[in-house]
Chain A
Amino acid sequence: MIAIKKLRWITKFVKIATINLFIFNLNLYGDCLKCHSNLIKDSLSISPHLLLNCNDCHSEFEKVPHPLKIEKSSCSSCHPEVVMNFEKSVHFNKLKCFECHGKHKTISFKVYGGKILVQEKCSSCHKKEGEEYKGSIHFEGIKKGIKDAPTCIDCHYEHKILSPLSPESPVSPKKIPETCAKCHENTRITSLYGIPPRRFSTYKKSYHGIFLYKGELHTANCISCHEYHKILPSSNPESSIHPANLTITCGKCHKDKEWKLKDVKIHVEAKKEVSFGVYVVRVFYICFISFLGFMFLLHIILDLRRRRK
């Protein structure tokens, strides 16, 4: 793995160096180079916007030195869909594109290490959430370089970031189970990283799940028990679903109840190894019902056959 990552960086470096050699010959930046050569060399050379002209983004001017304000907001001319999504988000009119993406050093967040960058960007404003997220198992995965581990934008959308109260938001009560299901119901991910499988379908069959999908939005969804950002496995003593903390977690809704919640299994598949009792009940009923059904049918057929004679 490490060798591949190194190789990736080397090929990237070679690519950038080759392009760098041609920049000055292509004369993309015209007279701007005379003053802003550092800017272009340091920042723009690693950006995907390397081959754009200066006045693709900046307005043209006539005399030097030029006025300070020479921007024309034109991200939408190349990224119309992104801007359209962004216009629906809560950040619209509060943030500008460059506040997250940088002015000249616009690196794609999809490159290696980008997920950490995203987290850093978001937590520069959302400090509390950022701190909570940093304590989660998801961030642990990102630090290890696991590409499937989710960062902020994997749950909240990239540009169309909405309030959790908006029904369209992927973190709204009705949609959050499906958002988590993208990974926790995905057999490839659950088997590759050894995390418990089928978290969504088992939830959907539980009391809370049935209630949620019948429109009772006040019922518990994933984050009600697993925390908003500080999501941890039950084995971690800090986790909200650690056996010692369950009384507090369930008590958020079920107040004043001293439930027997030690060693409980919540929304698990009733397999032989996990919950033997429920498995036995199911097998017994299936056998018994099939047997009865078969005997009834047999009796009915024989009875009718005899009566016809």
Chain B
Amino acid sequence: MKGKRNILRFSLNWRIQHFLLMVSVFLLIISGIALRFSDSWFGKFLIFLEGGFEARGALHRLSAFLLIFTALYHLIYIIFTKEGRKEFKSFLFEKDDFSNYFKTILYNFGKIEEKPKIKRYGFKEKLQYWVFFLFVFLMIITGIVMWWHNYFLVLIPKWLFDLVYGIHGWGGTLILIFIVFWHIYEIHLTPSNFPINLSFWDGYVSEEWLKEEHFLEYEEMKKGEE
């Protein structure tokens, strides 16, 4: 990131939530994918790293607890705190997001000269947030059904259980694709952030970065200062 990082963009509360999500999802993915590919050398290696098959299951459940805790924490945050409600509102989709998406494509192709002006959260962040919101919810529900299958098989028929199994397994793959393709590119590899955007850790970004990536947020901030 160019310039001195001196603008606080994320509060401590926000950063703690991100950190918990990061740790739990990372652990869930490596322990989940170990099971999904448990036949191949890759899965066997992951199981070995995680300390055996039993330990892998324990790790998956332990990090699931962490994820459930994080999800509840986030719900409380967006419902009961002023800051959380404000952040949540800025995550809602608007008309601008769709037009900005097409503008970005046109800009990337060189058809228009001006880069679209992005608010605090643009379509990239919103897509990321909502896909995570939806899939974390789905994964928690399906995961709980599979965790206590002895009780849930009394309540639900077997075909629904099979469906739950399918949703959970493929959902994990989808989140993995999201993280590998999207998050890693946007946070680490994109030239304006390379090698890493450290704002997830201390919350600070530089003025130049904010001006380039989130122009409308920058403008609002300047107005607030005046």
Q: Closest approach, in angstroms, between the C-beta of A266 and any C-beta of chain B?
A: 8
Contacts of A306 in B (CB 8 A): 107-110
Whether A260 touches B157, Cβ cut-off 8 Å, given contacts A302-B105, A303-B190, is yes
Cβ–Cβ < 8 Å partners of B155 in chain A: 260
* Docked-complex contact A307 and B170, CB < 8 angstroms: no
**Contact call A281/B163, Cβ cutoff below 8 A:** yes
Question: Interface digits, A277-300 against B, CB 8 Å rule (1 contact, 0 not)?
Answer: 110011001101100110011011
Give the interface SS of chain A, mostly helix, strand, loop or mixed. helix
Cβ contact within 8 Å between B174 and A307: no
Tell me whether A293 and B162 are in contact (CB under 8 A).
Answer: no
Partner of A289, one of B150, B154, B165, B173: B173
| A281 / chain B contacts, CB cutoff of 8 Å | 163, 166-167, 170
Q: Check A254 against B150 for contact (C-beta < 8 Å).
A: yes
- Asked if residues B158 and A214 are in contact (CB atoms below 8 Å), the reply is no
Q: In the complex, which residues 230-262 of chain A have their Cβ closer than 8 Å to any Cβ of chain B?
A: 254, 257-262
Asked if A302 and B109 sit within 8 Å, CB to CB, the answer is yes
**Bound-state Cα–Cα, A264 to B182, Å:** 40
Cβ A282 vs Cβ B166 within 8 A: yes
Q: What A residues does B108 contact at CB under 8 A? A: 299, 302-303, 305-306
Instruction: List 21 A–B pairs whose Cβ atoms lie within 8 Å, in order of A's numbering.
Output: A210-B35, A213-B38, A214-B38, A214-B53, A254-B150, A261-B158, A264-B158, A270-B166, A277-B166, A278-B165, A281-B163, A281-B170, A289-B170, A289-B177, A292-B177, A292-B178, A296-B181, A302-B105, A306-B108, A306-B110, A309-B110
Residues of B within 8 A of A (CB): 35, 38, 47, 53, 105, 107-110, 150, 153-160, 162-163, 165-167, 170-171, 173-174, 177-178, 181-182, 185, 190-192
Q: Which residues of A contact B (CB under 8 A)?
A: 210, 213-216, 254, 257-262, 264-266, 270, 275, 277-278, 281-282, 285-286, 288-289, 292-293, 296-297, 299-300, 302-307, 309
